[in-house]
């Protein structure tokens, strides 16, 4: 079995530097961190926290690591996980990865050291040696909302393909032809899946896919606003802006309102991910709704099945289109 000094030699750094990487020290450069992670992966290095395993004796605690606690989707998901776990006699310890692999690994390591009985993770894009090793160890681990390539653990997530197809059909039926999409990052499974579904639906309905109309955001409101500005500044701006999550929709809404434009008269707006306040803005925003609470409840069910030694497979639930008035529905009689 590889030791920490083997990793250091393979990466061309000191043992102290490897230790700093393992402990998420901010003093390590991104290039060095990447090199150390690559060495760990190539040598199949097992960090001590994983070697000690997820469970020794039951603690009646579960660990939950979410992508971004600011996002209403993750907040609702976390609440459902906590409620379901409490009903089963478990306490949940929550960590916010802030969409960063190093923060995710910090919480994975911390939760393992606290001897949680199982882990539920909304993984970041990067497949890190620590998450790989937790998965390989066979300990109770479940992915929520997202999956990682090559990491085979049960997952509980929503599939938005049919809902995106329904949205594009809805937009086409309203007479829209110039439809832009602010996607999530391609490094995340959710970003890739939503983009693929959008492009396929546009092609199916014979709508032109203009390269300048497909812009990659980061699931944060700032990118939604910046990319909406870029789209609206085009010589021929889109008739509809479809944002790939609720925070980017918020950013898009901010930019549209800052310009004094009217929804849907000047530009229509639709969102992947609903939000509690979407029905209450003027006009109410047409959105694709994910069953966040159900995903959380089912995720707890899967992890409890794993803890009990019962078969536990992946679960995929459908997302649904919620038609409101931000795409011109009212003036078209929809």
Between CA 197 and CA 315 the distance in angstroms is: 19
Query: Residue 243, Cβ neighbours under 10 Å: how many?
Result: 32
Contact criterion met (CB below 8 Å) for 59 and 116: yes
Note the pLDDT of residue 316: 97
Output 180 or 57, whichever has higher pLDDT: 180
**What pLDDT, on the 0 to 100 scale, is given for residue 261?**
98
pLDDT tens profile 111-157: 988 889 999 999 987 788 888 888 888 889 999 999 998 899 999 99
Please state at what angle helix 30-43 crosses helix 15-22, rounded to 10 degrees: 100
pLDDT digits (tens, 9 = 90+) for 149-195: 889 999 999 999 999 999 999 999 999 999 999 999 998 999 999 99
pLDDT confidence band for 332 (50 / 70 / 90): low
- Residue 50's pLDDT band (cuts 50, 70, 90): low
The per-residue pLDDT of the chain, averaged, comes to 91
Report the distance separating Cα 306 and Cα 301, nearest Å.
Answer: 9
Residue 155 main-chain phi, psi, to 5 deg: -135, 155
Residue 59, pLDDT > 90, answer no
Residues contacting residue 274 through CB under 8 Å, at least 6 positions apart: 246, 287, 288, 289, 290, 322
DSSP letter for each residue of 172-240:
HHTT---EEEEE--TTSHHHHHHHHHHHHHHHHTT----GGGEEE--SSHHHHHHHHHHHHTSSS--SE
Of the listed ranges 33-42, 247-256, 272-281, 315-324, the least confidently predicted one is 33-42
Q: Which domains does the chain have, with CATH numbers?
A: 4-47 (1.10.260.40), 61-157+292-317 (3.40.50.2300), 159-291 (3.40.50.2300)
Contacting residues for 329 by C-beta, under 8 A, at least 6 apart: 174, 286, 323
Query: What is the C-alpha separation between 77 and 82, in angstroms, rounded?
Result: 9
Provide the pLDDT for residue 53.
45
DSSP conformation class of 323: -
Q: Please state, in angstroms and as integers, the Cα–Cα distance from residue 20 to each residue in 13, 26, 36, following that order.
A: 11, 8, 10
Q: What are phi and psi of 157, to 5 degrees?
A: -155, 170
Mean pLDDT within 85-93:
97
Q: How confident is the model at residue 330, as a pLDDT?
A: 77
The residues pairing with 65 across neighbouring beta strands, listed in sequence order, are 95, 121
> Is pLDDT at 74 greater than 60 in this prediction?
yes
How many angstroms separate the CA atoms of 142 and 98, rounded?
Answer: 19
pLDDT score of 46: 66
Spatial neighbors of 71 by CB under 8 A, at least 6 apart, are 219, 245, 246, 247
Q: Is 129 helix (H, G, I), strand (E, B) or coil?
A: helix
Going by pLDDT thresholds of 50, 70 and 90, the confidence category of residue 262 is very high
Is residue 55 scored above 50 in pLDDT?
Answer: no
pLDDT grade, residue 1 (50/70/90)? low
């Amino acid at each position: 079995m590889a030791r920490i000094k083997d990793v250091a030699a393979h990466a061309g750094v000191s043992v102290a530097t490897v230790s700093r990487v393992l402990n998420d020290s901010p003093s390590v450069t991104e290039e060095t961190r990447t090199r150390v992670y690559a060495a760990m992966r190539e040598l199949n290095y097992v960090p001590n926290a994983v070697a000690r395993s997820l469970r020794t004796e039951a603690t009646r605690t579960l660990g939950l690591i979410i992508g971004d606690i600011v996002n209403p989707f993750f907040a609702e998901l976390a609440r459902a996980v906590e409620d379901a776990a409490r009903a089963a006699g478990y306490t949940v310890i929550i960590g916010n990865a802030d969409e960063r692999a190093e923060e995710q690994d910090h919480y994975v390591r911390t939760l393992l050291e606290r001897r949680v009985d199982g882990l539920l993770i909304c993984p970041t894009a990067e497949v890190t040696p620590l998450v790989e090793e937790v998965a390989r160890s066979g300990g109770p681990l479940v992915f929520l909302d997202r999956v990682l390539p090559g990491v085979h653990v049960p997952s509980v997530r929503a599939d938005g393909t049919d809902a995106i197809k329904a949205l594009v059909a809805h937009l086409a039926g309203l007479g829209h032809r110039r439809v832009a999409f602010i996607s999530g990052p391609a490094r995340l499974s959710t970003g890739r899946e939503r983009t693929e579904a959008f492009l396929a639906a546009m092609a199916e309905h014979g709508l032109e896919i203009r390269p300048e109309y497909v812009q990659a955001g980061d699931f944060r409101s700032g990118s939604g606003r910046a990319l909406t500005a870029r789209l609206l500044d085009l010589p021929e701006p889109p008739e509809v802006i479809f944002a790939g999550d609720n925070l980017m929709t918020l950013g898009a809404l901010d930019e549209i309102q800052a310009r004094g434009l009217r929804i849907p008269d000047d530009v229509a707006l639709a969102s992947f991910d609903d939000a509690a306040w979407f029905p209450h803005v003027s006009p109410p925003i047409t959105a694709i709704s994910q069953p966040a609470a159900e995903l959380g409840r089912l995720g707890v069910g899967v992890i409890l099945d794993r803890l009990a030694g019962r078969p536990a497979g992946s679960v995929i639930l459908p997302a649904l289109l919620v038609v409101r008035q931000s795409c011109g529905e009212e003036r078209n009689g929809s």
